Copies of this chain bind each other. A is one copy, B any other.
Amino acid sequence: MTHATLCADKAVVQLTFSDGATGTYPFLWLRDNDPAGFHPDTKERVADLTAIPLDIRVTEALIEDTDLSLTWEDETATRYSLDWLAAHRPGHRLADPAKTGVTTWRADMVADAVPRLHAADVLASDAALRDWLMATQRSGLSVIDGLPDDREAGIDVAKRIGFLRETNFGVTFEVKSKPNPNNLAYTPIALPLHTDLTNQELPPGFQFLHCLANEATGGGSLFSDGFAVAEDLRTQDPEAFELLSTISVPFRFHDGEYDIRSRKKVITLDEDGALKEICFNAHIASILDIDPDLMPQYYRAYRTFMQMSRDPAYLVTFKLKAGEMVIFDNRRVLHGREAFDPNTGYRHLRGCYVDRGEFESRLRVLAR
């Protein structure tokens, strides 16, 4: 049985729910969130806060069946479901079905342990789609196999999540050796571990690389979990962690058509101090512009992160086969490539991105 207590002196209603949980609901919050103040179709808030006095007062609070019923000094009556009030206790974040958990990995996650699903299942089944997204969020890395030899096949799977993120490289991009490349990915040289497009205000969220051909000698894929590197750095070298998570540095990509610049910290933490994002890309690191007095210690920290991310202790490596697609969280997992010899065979990956926003939205909708 839920109990309601009107605390006029504190201008709050206190609730003790039947499971023992308690909630403190300021009068103004209750009036601001009157269910009648939301549009019935769009669910958007239409009530206007400026029409509510800041010192508005509840005069009576009653539990009626499964609702809290309030009477206000202006004789308005409002009503809230207790379940809704329990889910929205001030001071507690709303449960988020898009946060399904992250597990960092190191070289102990051998290539065979990378989550693997079949394209046909993910295309046909929402349950398989959800399994795939949860696995991809957990490890930041997964493989889809069984893709037909069709340029659109990988894109079709990515679009099960949502629309693609366009960038200056297009809505999709072709990773193969090209004449006059504007990006190192389009050469046959080795690509050291990096995250993509750290020069963008919002680097792309999830990256999809559909392997159409990988017949050349070399060209294996490398991955390391930037969150694992950051976690270990936090423990082993707190000074380096502090520098990389507080000092922003410039990134820049420029070619004939674009000049896109952004500053980023190598390690971005969220408001609770948890790891949110890794931005690491030596190719498009612009000219370091921080205070020269800070440079010796910053370079040491940055170079330590770089060395750790490449250490075999953190690496998972495998060579993609035609019909496979690798998916990774581009804001967490660093990826790289061994050099390949374009004279020994053809190598062609087709890529695209879907941002975190669409990925998380899909997880929430699938959890309904």
What is A's interface to B at a CB cutoff of 8 Å?
11-12, 24-26, 28-29, 32-33, 39, 41-46, 48-50, 54, 88, 90-94, 96, 98, 163, 165-166, 168, 180-184, 186-187, 189, 192, 200-202, 248, 250, 253-255, 257-263, 271, 282-292, 295-296, 299-300, 302-303, 306-307, 310, 355-358, 360-361, 364-365
Contacts and interface: CB of A to CB of B under 8 A. Distances in A.
Given A306-B49, A365-B257, A29 B286 contact: no
B287 A33 contact: yes
A16 B77 CA distance: 75
Contacts of A29: 288, 292, 295, 299
Listed from nearest, the 4 A-B pairs whose CB atoms lie closest are A259-B364, A44-B283, A90-B292, A202-B202
Given A26-B292, A54-B296, 7 more contacts: A24-B292, A25-B292, A28-B295, A29-B288, A43-B254, A46-B189, A90-B290
B96 A41 contact: no
A356 B28 contact: no
Given A91-B291, A201-B202, A295-B26, A361 B48 contact: no
A261 B96 contact: yes
Given A44-B183, A271-B248, A295 B357 contact: no
A40 B271 CA distance: 41
Contacts of A310: 50
Contacts of A299: 26, 28-29, 32, 49, 54
A130 B42 CA distance: 39
30 contacts: A11-B296, A26-B292, A26-B295, A28-B295, A28-B296, A41-B180, A41-B181, A41-B182, A43-B255, A44-B253, A44-B283, A45-B282, A45-B283, A45-B285, A46-B184, A46-B189, A50-B303, A54-B296, A54-B299, A54-B303, A90-B291, A91-B289, A91-B290, A91-B291, A91-B292, A94-B286, A168-B358, A201-B202, A201-B357, A261-B360
A250 B94 contact: yes
B90 A357 contact: no
A104 B166 CA distance: 32
Contact of A282 (B49, B163, B295, B296): B49
Nearest to A205: B201
A296 B26 contact: yes
